[in-house]
Structure 1
Amino acid sequence: MTEKTTDRVRMTGISKRYGPILSLSDVSLRIAPGEVLGLVGDNGAGKSTLSKVLSGAVVPDAGTIEIDEETVRFETPADARAAHVEMVYQDLSLCDTIDVAGNLFLGREPVRRVAGVSLLDKRRMHDDAKAMLERLGIVIADTRQKVENLSGGQRQSIAIGRAASFDPKVLIMDEPTAALAVAEVEAVLELIRTVSARGVSVILITHRLQDLFLVCDRIQVMYEGRSVAERKISETSIEEVVDLIVGRKFTARSAARGDRQEGVSA
């Protein structure tokens, strides 16, 4: 008898309105431990808003969120972080003038006491940073390098490494391979594989559809604020995903009409 796998995250009936704009309409999402879910859709489809709801940056108007079968409510990103949900934004939020180790430990730097005074323990911070990067397979020659001198791929790896160091259960990545060279893309994708292999649930938001087929187990397609399709990656193709994203093979339900979609499960 196969043991049932409990979802790490279950979002149900999530809705969000900004004035007259319905950004999310009754959206559900689920992801299992160690699963990589590709969340895709055209600009304005609602995928970023949904991810911000899960990361605590946006409070929904309706719906529920469960983490490991426990209902939670996030009012701030700090609430989400306390539930071990981390998000790496496209702008990375790194401090260019600080070195690699400083960025990895920003806001939680190790200290030592000397004559009753708390001082930054730089040796420990750099030693811990090296160990952290090695565990994730991130190659950075010197943790004393300033982030502004790193390549785009290295900067992305540092942002992911910082999020992974918080021991997340869920890691959301917003366009992690955008504007990277081919070799750097593969390094980031390998980092996603490493993180998910440790049991972290990864939600990947990307317009690079080819990346979905290299790291994802499943995809979820959004269209005009609704979840319109889910596919196992082994049972779909780039062509079908494109059709679902642009809406050519179905009539998308609008908030005003509520028309029935044909051939696509909501």
Structure 2
Amino acid sequence: MTSKTTGTHGAVLTDPAPEREGRPIVELRGAGKAYGNVRALHGVDLAVHPGRVTCVLGDNGAGKSTLIKIISGLHQHTEGDFLVDGEPVRFGTPRDALARGIATVYQDLATIPLMPVWRNFFLGSEMTKGPWPVRRLDIARMKRTADEELRNMGIVLDDLEQPIGTLSGGQRQCVAIARAVYFGARVLILDEPTAALGVKQSGVVLKYIAAARERGLGVIFITHNPHHAYLVGDHFSVLRLGTLELSAARADITLEELTNHMAGGAELAALKHELAQVGGVDVAALPKEPEAPAAGVPDQAGDTPASDAPASDTAAPAEGKA
């Protein structure tokens, strides 16, 4: 892993702490967040390594949005530890997280539909030229740089002048990913990037997630779709009611087992028992619940994951799209 990254406006910057082999860029140890008397997140362990995709799955209200807000610097954790490059941190704003190479691509993508692609690429960080106080936008350089960076990610657009709103949902996601990579991201958080996309466009986004991994980024892929996660994921963490229900490496879990955890295997077993008491339902024909992976399976960092015991019955606050 190289110790240099592409920083603001493509400048090559030396990382404050070069990634060492086996050491995560971002790590949570027993992290949690409480809003008054309500615990939205509790006891979460997560490790994000360079060149790996860490998938975080969970139903609505599982705590995914709270997790994103902690890592991206929007909220501060109230318990546990949050480490970047092995050093404890407590970000005050998202700019603090971005300065450490943690970029977040939200579902709304933070783009302006009527502006050209190249302008959205540099939105808020425009290149300028000329002496102060008569500096002006360096449009030619921004167009050239945007085209080069998009092509480096395998994204070829015929016209960078077209409004970004005319692109497909998958293409807009890819532009947002390329933008984050260009501005120095070492950890890329993707908030439900395939949630509103069809099969073909989801495939396009998944391809560029894999491309970001190949470029050495640590990717946190937030999703509720276990099939999408299993296509590109290296490690899987399943949240339920604000706690970590499952933490397993790809080699230690099958898609069927991951789907069962994501869908709530225990709850489905109880539902099957209830359906057995309803006339007209052939319970014997329903699929059997797959066995859960053995407890104590090492995760990607070599530690023992949290147990698969049922989560606390303390309800997490509503988190919108999480």
Say yes or no: TM over 0.5. Answer: yes
Q: Structure 2 matches for 1:1-266, cutoff 5 A?
A: 5-113=22-130, 117-249=134-266, 252-254=310-312
Native 8 Å contact 2:116 2:160 kept in 1: yes
**What are the Cα deviations for residues 8-40 of structure 1, in whole angstroms up to 9, with x where unaligned?**
211112111123321001211112111101100
Distance 2:32 2:176 in 1: 29
Q: 1:219 to 1:78 in 2, by over 3 A?
A: same
**TM-score, length-scaled by structure 2:** 0.75
Q: Which has the larger radius of gyration?
A: 2
Q: Structure 2: 5+ residue runs without aligned partners?
A: 1-19, 267-307, 315-322
Question: 1:259 maps to what in 2?
Answer: none
Native 8 Å contact 1:22 1:255 kept in 2: no
Offset of residue 234 of structure 1: 3.0
Q: Structure 1: 5+ residue runs without aligned partners?
A: 257-266
Stretch moving more, 18-27 or 107-116: 107-116
One-letter identity of the residue aligned with 2:311: R
Give runs of ≥4 in structure 1 deviating > 2 Å: 245-251
Native 8 Å contact 1:55 1:80 kept in 2: yes
Native 8 Å contact 1:55 1:77 kept in 2: yes
One-letter identity of the residue aligned with 2:260: D
**What are the Cα deviations for residues 78-129 of structure 1, in whole angstroms up to 9, with x where unaligned?**
1100110001011111111211111111111111117962111111110000
Offset of residue 210 of structure 1: 1.1
Stretch moving more, 11-20 or 203-212: 11-20
Native 8 Å contact 2:188 2:220 kept in 1: yes
One-letter identity of the residue aligned with 2:191: D
Native 8 Å contact 2:245 2:311 kept in 1: no
Q: 1:58 to 1:240 in 2, by over 3 A?
A: same
Distance 2:102 2:251 in 1: 27
How many residues matched?
A: 254
One-letter identity of the residue aligned with 2:310: A
Stretch moving more, 99-108 or 110-119: 110-119
Question: 1:260 maps to what in 2?
Answer: none
Native 8 Å contact 1:140 1:154 kept in 2: no
